[in-house]
């Protein structure tokens, strides 16, 4: 087994254990050519003991890992730190603008500018804000928080790749690309008290995803069960809307009393522009066209190092019109005279990508710790939406969590704590609220929700201007995203509730592709390098269908049983009826990778028990196209799509995004 060999090659002792699983009801299990049906309860997993397991090799996870090893050097106590990364390599799933504020980096690695190979080669030289109409661009003042003196324009994918090399080569952090964290490993007994006084099971590590299953959950000859990494501390650094983070937030009610998280979708391209159009270090942000006055969002253009320009569009996922396509809005943006000129001459598009980002800000930050671990980075949501930056806050949160973990777990003498008690990282929660991360978010806490007033775009611009220029956040009020708490939404995303029926909106007439400037969606997806094994369980589950233990799904019906198949067919039929009849098949327009289609159902299946469609339409999920943006999980009105991790190494292969 490849995963077992990886551990043995490092001289690690690996145990095999049959881990407890949730009970399942299996029936009619057959042994066909595809292999025996997968039963989680009968699988023995390889186990590895680590001190700290970090899920996600992004800025937050890598900063936490480096800080832990720095504390090890300064204070003693050997610590084994493992970072699990679902991408095929570090940086493969990292996408951002990005203009990086180096505040946290200066604290983590004060000498970073003297290190060979660092990717922060292009300082930001100027910052401008524009209001766009269909044919014109008008300069407008930008908030002081959007100033970029001392910041750098870079590929965040390259930045994390460089940071990982420091973590591995200088500090001995173990980083395992291709290992997708699929389930949290809980203690067998209720051994902890959560933040609300409830007795609960603590987190004791992570189980990675199974590899070598067919689409219908049968074991191939290449099958490998997921590996269990038992850890004293588990840090979740998955980025916005991570699947394990969702699980932890739900289980431990971490969002109890906080505002619901809100999201945006960022869609971007990287171009190598004509030398006559290249202005190194220039930063441009725009509002207005092509979005209407009721849709929050804006464009960006960052002139990177080496003649590259990063450009894109960010759209709040609380948009109302289900006909809206974020991808096509970006293509339409490029038809503006400003972009036509920028991308004229010898310009060439070299990359494309999309990812959701958190917009909720201070109001939506949940309780950060849980028994045995904590949320760090965008798993908790630390993006400063006024700055349109979050890397600095993500890194600092990882550093603070590392310090709390070290002090709580690795400095204690054996007699000071009961052996085997779960890690308590409540000090991290307090430290972050006393840090500059909290101040950074507090100052701009009212800007994003101000756009949800009846005045819409104009009201938000007016309030934001007054608040940022005069009050600087020092007002006695804090706006809410909604009158309800996250708990009161019952697991539904706030953004999905903003979607209105298609009958209330006109279909958007997008222009056809223009060669050399705009392209169709699948041509763009080809630039992401996305790849998934074709015959594997679909990781985009309608209502979480599938055996428990596969990708963390909690389905109770065996997909091999006739009853289970009928149950899933009914769920999919309801999905199609609601989304097609009321919302014009929103996912077909919204997904920036062409994953979802509502196609004609075969006439031989219609009106039979085998039908999964409605009114002649059925849902097709092209999961091999998925670029892991998470939009579907957040935005679908029926809230019945669950994004789970696919087999490790699947997904996009970003390099300069």
Q: Annotated active-site positions, please?
A: 96, 355, 391, 591, 626, 629, 632
Q: Are 55 and 238 spatial neighbours (Cβ–Cβ below 8 Å)? A: yes
Q: At what angle do helices 156-169 and 59-75 cross, to 10 degrees?
A: 20
The dihedral built from the CA positions of residue 46, 248, 413 and 433, taken in this order, carries a sign that is positive
Q: Per the structure block, which two tokens stand in for 461?
A: 């611009």
Phi/psi of residue 442, nearest 5 degrees:
-65, -40
| Length in residues, the chain | 657
All residues at 6 or more sequence positions from 80 whose CB lies less than 8 Å from its CB, including other chains: 49, 50, 51, 52, 174
**Nearest Cα to Cα of residue 423 among 250, 236, 204:** 204
Measured distance between the N- and C-terminal CA atoms of the chain, rounded to whole angstroms: 33
Q: Are 485 and 260 spatial neighbours (Cβ–Cβ below 8 Å)? A: yes
CA distances from 631 to 248, 252, 282, 357 (A): 20, 24, 30, 10
Query: Could you give the CA distance from residue 360 to residue 347 in angstroms, rounded to a whole number?
Result: 36
Distance of CA 422 to the CA centre of its chain: 27
Quickly list DSSP for 4-50.
HHHHHTTT---EEE-------B--S--EETTEEBP-GGG--EEEEEE
Q: Are 505 and 326 spatial neighbours (Cβ–Cβ below 8 Å)? A: no
Q: Is the peptide bond before 544 cis (omega within 30 degrees of 0)?
A: no
**Nearest Cα to Cα of residue 94 among 374, 305, 354:** 354
Q: Are 92 and 657 spatial neighbours (Cβ–Cβ below 8 Å)? A: no
Q: Are 545 and 565 spatial neighbours (Cβ–Cβ below 8 Å)? A: no
Question: Which SS3 state, helix, strand or coil, does residue 228 take?
Answer: strand
Query: Could you give the CA distance from residue 450 to residue 197 in angstroms, rounded to a whole number?
Result: 35
Query: Could you give the CA distance from residue 545 to residue 535 in angstroms, rounded to a whole number?
Result: 17
What are 542's strand-pairing partners?
Answer: 641
What is the residue whose two structure tokens read 């971007």?
268
**Nearest Cα to Cα of residue 408 among 366, 435, 365, 372:** 372
């Amino acid at each position: 087994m490849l995963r077992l060999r990886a551990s043995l090659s490092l001289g690690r002792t690996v145990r095999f254990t049959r881990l407890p699983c949730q009970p399942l009801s299996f029936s009619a299990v057959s042994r066909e050519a595809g292999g025996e049906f997968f039963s989680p309860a009968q699988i023995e997993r390889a186990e590895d003991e680590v001190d700290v397991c970090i899920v996600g090799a992004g800025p937050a996870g890598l900063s936490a890992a480096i800080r832990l090893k720095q504390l090890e050097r300064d204070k003693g106590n050997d610590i084994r730190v493992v970072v699990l990364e679902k991408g095929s390599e570090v940086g493969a799933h990292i996408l951002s603008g990005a203009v990086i504020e180096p505040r946290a980096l200066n604290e983590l690695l004060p000498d970073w500018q003297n290190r060979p190979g660092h990717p922060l080669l292009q300082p930001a030289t100027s910052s401008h804000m524009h209001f766009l109409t269909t044919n014109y661009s008008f300069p407008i003042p930008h908030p002081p928080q959007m100033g970029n003196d001392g910041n750098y324009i870079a590929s965040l994918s390259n930045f994390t790749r460089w940071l990982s090399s420091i973590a591995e080569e200088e500090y001995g952090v173990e980083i395992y690309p291709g290992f997708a964290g699929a389930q949290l490993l809980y203690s067998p007994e209720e051994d902890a008290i959560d933040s609300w006084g409830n007795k609960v099971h603590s987190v004791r590590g992570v189980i990675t995803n199974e590899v070598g299953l067919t689409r219908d959950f049968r074991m191939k000859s290449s099958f490998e069960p997921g590996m269990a990494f038992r850890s004293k501390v588990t840090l979740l650094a998955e980025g916005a809307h991570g699947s394990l983070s969702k699980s932890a937030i739900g289980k431990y009610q971490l969002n109890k009393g906080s505002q619901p998280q809100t999201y945006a979708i960022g869609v971007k391209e990287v171009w190598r522009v004509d030398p006559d159009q290249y202005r190194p270090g220039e930063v441009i942000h725009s509002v207005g066209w092509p979005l209407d006055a009721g849709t929050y969002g804006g464009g960006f253009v960052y002139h990177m190092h080496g003649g590259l320009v990063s450009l894109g569009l960010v759209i709040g996922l609380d948009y109302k019109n289900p006909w809206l396509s974020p991808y096509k809005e970006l293509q339409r943006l490029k038809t503006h005279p400003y972009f036509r000129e920028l991308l004229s001459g010898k310009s060439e598009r070299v990359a494309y990508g999309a990812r959701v980002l958190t917009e909720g800000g201070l109001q939506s930050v949940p309780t950060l710790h849980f028994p045995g671990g904590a949320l760090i980075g965008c798993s908790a949501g630390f993006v400063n939406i006024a700055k349109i930056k979050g890397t600095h806050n993500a890194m600092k949160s990882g550093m603070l969590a590392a310090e709390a973990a070290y002090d709580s777990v690795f400095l204690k003498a054996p007699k000071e704590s009961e052996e085997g008690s779960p890690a308590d990282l409540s000090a991290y929660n307090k430290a972050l609220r006393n840090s500059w991360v909290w101040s950074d978010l507090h100052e701009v806490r009212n800007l994003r929700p101000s756009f949800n007033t009846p005045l819409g775009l104009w009201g938000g611009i007016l309030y934001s201007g007054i608040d940022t220029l005069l009050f600087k956040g020092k007002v006695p009020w804090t706006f809410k995203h909604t009158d309800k708490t996250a708990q009161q939404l019952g697991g539904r995303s706030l953004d999905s509730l903003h979607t209105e029926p298609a009958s209330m909106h006109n279909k958007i007439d997008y222009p056809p592709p223009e060669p050399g400037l705009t392209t169709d969606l699948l041509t763009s997806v080809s630039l992401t390098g996305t790849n998934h094994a074709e015959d594997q369980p679909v990781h985009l589950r309608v209502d979480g269908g599938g055996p428990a233990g596969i990708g963390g799904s909690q389905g109770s019906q065996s997909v091999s049983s006739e009853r289970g198949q009928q149950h899933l067919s009914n769920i999919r039929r309801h999905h199609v009826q609601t989304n097609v009849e009321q919302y014009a098949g929103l996912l077909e327009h919204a997904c920036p990778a062409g994953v979802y289609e509502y196609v004609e159902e075969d006439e031989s299946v219609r009106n039979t028990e085998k039908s999964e469609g409605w009114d002649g339409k059925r849902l097709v999920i092209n999961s091999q196209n998925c670029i892991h943006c998470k939009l579907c999980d957040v935005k679908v009105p029926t809230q019945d799509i669950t994004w789970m991790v696919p087999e490790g190494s699947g997904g996009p292969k970003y390099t300069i995004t």
